[in-house]
Structure 1
Amino acid sequence: MPSDEEVLLRKSVASISSRYGAPYFQRVVDERKPATELWNELAGGGFFGVHLPEEYDGGGGGLYDVAAVLEETAAAGVPALAAVFSPGVNGTILAQHGTPEQKDRWLRGLATGQIMSSFAITEPDAGHNSFNISTSARRDGDDWILNGQKYYISGFDEAEFAIVVARTGQDERSGRGLLTLFIVDTDAPGVSHQPLPTALQVPEKQSTVYFDDVRITPDRVIGAEHHGIRAAFAGINAERLLVSAICTGVGRYALEKAVAYASERTVWKAPIGSHQAIAHPLAESKIALETSRLMTAKACMLYDLGLDGGEAANMAKLTGVDAGLHCLDAAIQTHGGNGVALEYQLSNYWFLLRMLKIGPVSKEMILNFIAEHTLGLPRSY
């Protein structure tokens, strides 16, 4: 059973988000604007920083709490993708691996939502093999000089800074890159970006980002030199769970609309929901949805307890995305031709969930992980 605190948290977020809802979301997408009004109200209430330390202006909760926030916003038709990579990924990385000075300088703004940030790891030639990234940083006295390119970076155009994953060496035995995390201002000399057009209908834009001899001072290095992947995965595992929360939230949104439509839409003198061809896919969607929500809750609890949650996080991400897509597809089918009419506000969420099935980690890589680490099968790649 959810605690009284969780019930209140979800109710508060749902109340705010539902006042904006799908019409607001579609409007800001059409106007190519960020969802500033919704962001400011939720951030002002401390909801996006609910998982971050109280001493740095957060709510002192855990990932379970912010996952609930993101699920409720999505269930109201306003999925907050920016909250995944800004307070979600970057806030978690800084909270767990930042120095007190870094937390004081950068984490406070993420916790309150007054600062937006971006996470830059993806590269076109590296794919899911993060150790193969080519963006590099070399020593120049006490400073670092950063060069390279990042691809499919969310929200960079609105961000004040980005946490950038860069190669700083190479392991002689394995040949893998040694990675380090850097805090880089988006307006620093040598930093540029250009829009990456996509089919996504979300306020957050995608960008290709370029680093040309960007100087980075030592106070902007997160964690130990050459060991950035450990700090990065603190945020990456959190990202998988928050993505699952968004997808299950969209699934709830779509299923609610489908059930209402199937109960009201009458053909041949009976509501279409009375026909098993309509009812069964919706029932299956509900089962998948609740199963994925349980998996996500379990994974969040393991994460908050500091236990090894890699297996659960991967399972939650896969089941969450699949359940969300199942619900959305069934809802569109239930609406017939109306399912792709923009006024019914269903199909506009399709590419968001379809993209999240590919990244931040693909279904195939999750299955590789489960096959090797859970089942003990030989490594396939």
Structure 2
Amino acid sequence: MSNFIETEEQKELRAAVSKLAQRFNYVDYVLPKARKGEPLTELWNEAGKLGFLGVNLPEEYGGGGAGIYELALVQEELAAQGAGLLLVVVSPAICGTIIGKYGTDAQKQEWLTALADGSKIMAFGITEPDAGSNSHQITTTARRDGEDWILRGNKVFISGVDQADAVLIVARTEDHKTGKLKPALFIVPTDAENFVATPMEMDIVEPDHQFTLFLDDVRLPADALVGSEDAALMQLFAGLNPERILGAAMAIGMGRWALEAGVKFAKERTVWKTPIGAHQGLAHPLAQCKIELELAKLMLQKAAVLYDSGDDFGAAEAANMAKYAAAEASIKTLDQAIQTHGGGGLTKEYGLSAMLGAARIARVAPVSREMILNFVAQHSLGLPKSY
């Protein structure tokens, strides 16, 4: 797809995902699970059986052989029913993409087939307490010990480790010629000795948990390394554009869900014999939200098409812009849906305020709004680097 008119197959995929998501919708399924801190296992398993989780992975490993566009489409339609899956961003999009591009045949055979059907989940560990968004400052190190690797360091805000079979850890190897530390990627089983995952206490209603990871001399075999230890940042960034695109898709889907809820209430709620949606004070803000969501979706589609066509730099710019626009539109729409409901928007009955925290994440993760503005200022506008 290059002209933003979706194929019949893509339209059918949207319809099929939407049908599944309606069964596992926000009010009846997701919110009760989230309030109990339980993962969306039943939805995940069903999406895996139907082939939705692996649409972007190669057919030879059980995937759909399509692209990030199709996986973003899956995420958007799930989220449009309030059933977005955070681990779709991580497991098939980031980890599946990286292993698909740089993994050995054995790694692909072991992981891609399982990631495609959802029978295994891989989390992604990059963020560190002192590095934040600066991947150049990662301090988790990997050193050789014979044929093995020894990993030491810690990570923070790592999603879904309790659901994962392994974590793709970003560590650094030392270049003895220059003394510089270079990033490298390792598959670390969650049951590895000296690997400790500690839940973080978050104050949002979410079915997925965040973890701090401690790697205290975790010993890994040679084949735990993904790709080359000399590939530097190239391998890492192969997974970050899909992460931004999928994050944008989730935000747009949440915005669509909130807009539908706000519009439905504005049509049904009558004051002085008139539906409140007839008043421009409510109609115009909802119309603005619709416009801004559609604009964000266009940039999402552009980013996904560029990525799937192999234009890495164009995809990076568009993916950052899509993630920025989607986050802003999603938060604004959810806030307006709450306002449209009045006091009802803050009750448990509608679940709108519970989603506000989840929507707010999009301004911070997987990359902050400010880092996106830094990227656009430097790379799109050619302004001097500010940090």
Amino acid aligned to 1:61 = A
Q: Which residue of 2 aligns with 1:287?
A: 291
Q: Does 2:98 correspond to 1:114?
A: no
Q: Does 2:132 correspond to 1:127?
A: yes
Instruction: Map 1:62-81 to 2 at 5 A.
Output: 62-81=67-86
The answer to which of 133-142 and 3-12 deviates more is: 133-142
- Structure 2 Cα separation of the partners of residues 171 and 41 of structure 1: 48
The offset of 1:171, in angstroms, is 9.7
Q: Which residue of 2 aligns with 1:321?
A: 327
Residues 323-375 of structure 1: per-residue CA shift (max 9 Å, x gap): 11111111011111111112101111111121121111111111111111111
Contact persistence 2:183–2:229 (CA under 8 A): yes
- Structure 1 Cα separation of the partners of residues 293 and 176 of structure 2: 42
Residues 24-43 of structure 1: per-residue CA shift (max 9 Å, x gap): 00111122221111111111
Q: Which residue of 1 aligns with 2:90?
A: 85
- Matched residue count: 380
Q: Which residue of 2 aligns with 1:216?
A: 220
Q: 1:26 aligns with which of 23, 31, 46?
A: 31
- Structure 1 Cα separation of the partners of residues 50 and 115 of structure 2: 13
Q: Which residue of 2 aligns with 1:334?
A: 340
Q: 1:56 aligns with which of 37, 55, 61?
A: 61
- Structure 2 Cα separation of the partners of residues 25 and 177 of structure 1: 42
Q: 2:363 aligns with which of 345, 357, 360?
A: 357
- Structure 1 Cα separation of the partners of residues 63 and 70 of structure 2: 12
- Structure 2 Cα separation of the partners of residues 228 and 104 of structure 1: 24
Contact persistence 1:281–1:330 (CA under 8 A): yes
Q: Does 2:249 correspond to 1:245?
A: yes
Q: Which residue of 2 aligns with 1:141?
A: 146
SS in 2 for 1:78: coil
Q: How big is the alpha-carbon RMSD for the aligned residues of Structure 1 and Structure 2?
A: 1.4
State the identity as a percent: 49
Q: Which residue of 2 aligns with 1:194?
A: 198
Normalised by the length of structure 2, the TM-score is 0.96
- Structure 2 Cα separation of the partners of residues 347 and 3 of structure 1: 36
Q: Does 2:375 correspond to 1:369?
A: yes
- Structure 1 Cα separation of the partners of residues 181 and 202 of structure 2: 30
Amino acid aligned to 1:302 = L
Question: CA 1:235–1:264 in 2, change beyond 3 Å: closer, same or farther?
Answer: same
- Structure 1 Cα separation of the partners of residues 171 and 329 of structure 2: 34
- Structure 1 Cα separation of the partners of residues 234 and 355 of structure 2: 33
- Structure 1 Cα separation of the partners of residues 240 and 118 of structure 2: 20
Q: Does 2:258 correspond to 1:254?
A: yes
Contact persistence 2:35–2:206 (CA under 8 A): no
- Structure 1 Cα separation of the partners of residues 115 and 35 of structure 2: 27
- Structure 2 Cα separation of the partners of residues 172 and 359 of structure 1: 36
The answer to which of 123-132 and 228-237 deviates more is: 228-237
Contact persistence 1:181–1:228 (CA under 8 A): no
SS in 1 for 2:162: coil
Instruction: Map 1:8-27 to 2 at 5 A.
Output: 8-22=12-26, 23-27=28-32
Normalised by the length of structure 1, the TM-score is 0.97
The answer to which of 45-54 and 161-170 deviates more is: 161-170
The answer to which of 288-297 and 268-277 deviates more is: 268-277
Question: CA 1:219–1:121 in 2, change beyond 3 Å: closer, same or farther?
Answer: same
Question: CA 1:205–1:93 in 2, change beyond 3 Å: closer, same or farther?
Answer: same
Q: 2:352 aligns with which of 340, 346, 357?
A: 346
Residues 258-281 of structure 1: per-residue CA shift (max 9 Å, x gap): 001001111232111111111111
The offset of 1:176, in angstroms, is 6.7
Residues 76-106 of structure 1: per-residue CA shift (max 9 Å, x gap): 1111111111111111111111111110011
Contact persistence 1:237–1:313 (CA under 8 A): yes
Q: Which residue of 2 aligns with 1:6?
A: 10
Q: 1:153 aligns with which of 144, 153, 158?
A: 158
Question: CA 1:333–1:138 in 2, change beyond 3 Å: closer, same or farther?
Answer: same
Amino acid aligned to 1:122 = T
> Where does structure 1 differ by over 2 angstroms across 4 or more consecutive aligned residues?
169-173, 226-229
Q: Is there any run of 5+ residues in structure 1 with no aligned partner, and where?
A: none
- Structure 2 Cα separation of the partners of residues 125 and 72 of structure 1: 36
Q: Which residue of 2 aligns with 1:307?
A: 311
The offset of 1:157, in angstroms, is 1.0
Contact persistence 1:133–1:177 (CA under 8 A): no
Q: Does 2:386 correspond to 1:380?
A: yes
Q: Does 2:233 correspond to 1:233?
A: no
